[in-house]
Amino acid sequence: MDAETRVAVVGINGTLGAPVIKSLTKTSFELTLLTRDKNKTQQFVESTFPSSERIHITEVDYTSNSSLVSALTGQHSVVILISRTVADPHIKVIDAAIEAGVEQIIPSCFGLDTRIPSIRANPALEQKLRMEDHVLHRAEDKSKKWSYAMIHTAVFLEWSLTAGVFINMKGGGDAPTMVFDDGDSKFALSSFNDIGTAIVNVIRKRHSPEVRDKVLLMSSVHTTQNDLLAYAKGFRPEKTWPTIRIDSADALRKSREALARGDRTPPAMSGFLVRAYSADGNGWFPKLDNDVLGVSLKDETFLKDALRDALQA
């Protein structure tokens, strides 16, 4: 069945691009990568996936509906990995996919559960919400022949460690970590491998009511900032691992003040996410769809291994 499945991937240059393509190449899917620059993408494929023979590259004009429709015609699923900060390219791809007769659309919904009011209130997610709302609006058509599957992943595990989102590993333990409130708020992380596995299984199940027109929640592991710091100190006990305490209420207040001044930049809006992940308790999903997605919730050993790998990188 895999060999008969044609999958288009859009937005391959982002954080999830290479990991998701890696998972897709482990199947027998016929992959088509949509890109603005065919030569650049060809170099990327040859250097990253040199042994894959089932990757095709199609150059498209993202401003042209006819270009997108032509590229998407004949595809069974389209995986959209475009940055959440820009809605228009998403919407153009979604509309073109519907017109082209694509059976399944997997939009770039990876992250927090945007159905939660406090998450929806975050101005930094305005473009992502606009895209998701467009999908839901198009899905109201009772005669539609396509389906969507939105996968919420919470924060990407590997990215969060290298970016210093919850623990700052610069200098191997010398740089301060900003700890939100008491540092004991639970949050979820999803690994690149698990996200790729989830996407593969959603494609395989595209005709199943388990995934058709569903919002699916996944996590690889649950933890806290204090736990991460404790694990890191265990690996590098000679380091001080300093911390700076951040009051999430104060961070939220500053972001609201910035919004009132017209500053909607991600740093200025970060207080909304800080609050969501800490005092509001929205950084993890109480109910998961891991079984449907073919992934599991791991224990602390998994997280420690990821943390050790990041420290050694």
pLDDT (0 to 100) of residue 219: 98
Quick check: 38 and 48 in contact, CB under 8 A?
no
Q: Where are the domains positioned within the chain?
A: 5-155+190-217, 156-188+221-285+296-312
CA 94/CA 89 separation, integer angstroms: 9
CA 97/CA 106 separation, integer angstroms: 11
Residues of the chain scoring pLDDT < 50: none
How does DSSP classify residue 220? S
CA 237/CA 310 separation, integer angstroms: 16
CA 288/CA 297 separation, integer angstroms: 9
Quick check: 80 and 106 in contact, CB under 8 A?
yes
Cα–Cα distances in Å, from 134 out to 62, 65, 77, 101, 130?
Answer: 17, 16, 18, 17, 6
| Tokens read off for 149 | 């599957």
pTM value is 0.95
C-alpha dihedral over 219, 221, 223, 225, to 10 degrees?
-80
Pairing of the two strands 187-190 and 221-223: antiparallel
pLDDT (0 to 100) of residue 145: 96
| Tokens read off for 75 | 């595809």
pLDDT (0 to 100) of residue 3: 67
